Amino acid sequence: AQSVSQHNHHVILSEAASLELGCNYSYGGTVNLFWYVQYPGQHLQLLLKYFSGDPLVKGIKGFEAEFIKSKFSFNLRKPSVQWSDTAEYFCAVNGKNSGYALNFGKGTSLLVTP
């Protein structure tokens, strides 16, 4: 069965701290991997995506993620968070086996304190 697991449900960090959010997936076949962010009261925005090639992907707002195929992981990182990064973060996976429908993790709520 296809599944996406996000290990951290709630994360609280101080500004300038480093961030790493874990994401593991279980999926048959070739996958595409995504991280989305949902700011309070707003719709989903794409942070970054991996289709193929360099497993280290850089996205918007200083975020990056690394695809480690052997670990079925796609962890999101940011060296120094800001208060404005407070949001809900979703890891998602799709592929041909799912008709390219996105399968989302449960999300991680990040609170950055001043």
Partner 1 sequence: GAVVSQHPSRVICKSGTSVKIECRSLDFQATTMFWYRQFPKQSLMLMATSNEGSKATYEQGVEKDKFLINHASLTLSTLTVTSAHPEDSSFYICSATPGGLNTEAFFGQGTRLTVV
Residues that bind partner 1 (CB under 8 A): 32, 34, 43-44, 46, 49, 51-52, 90, 94, 96, 99-107, 109
Residue 24 CB, nearest approach to partner 1 (Å) = 15
Residue 105 CB, nearest approach to partner 1 (Å) = 6
Nearer to partner 1, 16 or 111 (CB): 111
Query: Nearest to residue 26, comparing CAs of 86, 113, 114, 97?
Result: 97
Nearer to partner 1, 72 or 104 (CB): 104
Nearer to partner 1, 52 or 70 (CB): 52
Nearer to partner 1, 4 or 19 (CB): 4
Residue 62 CB, nearest approach to partner 1 (Å) = 19
Residue 22 CB, nearest approach to partner 1 (Å) = 15
DSSP one-letter string for 1-70: --EEEES-SEEEEETT--EEE-EEEE-SS--EEEEEEE-TTS--EEEEEE-SS-SEEE-GGG-EEEEEGG
Do 23 and 4 meet the contact criterion of CB atoms below 8 Å apart?
Answer: yes
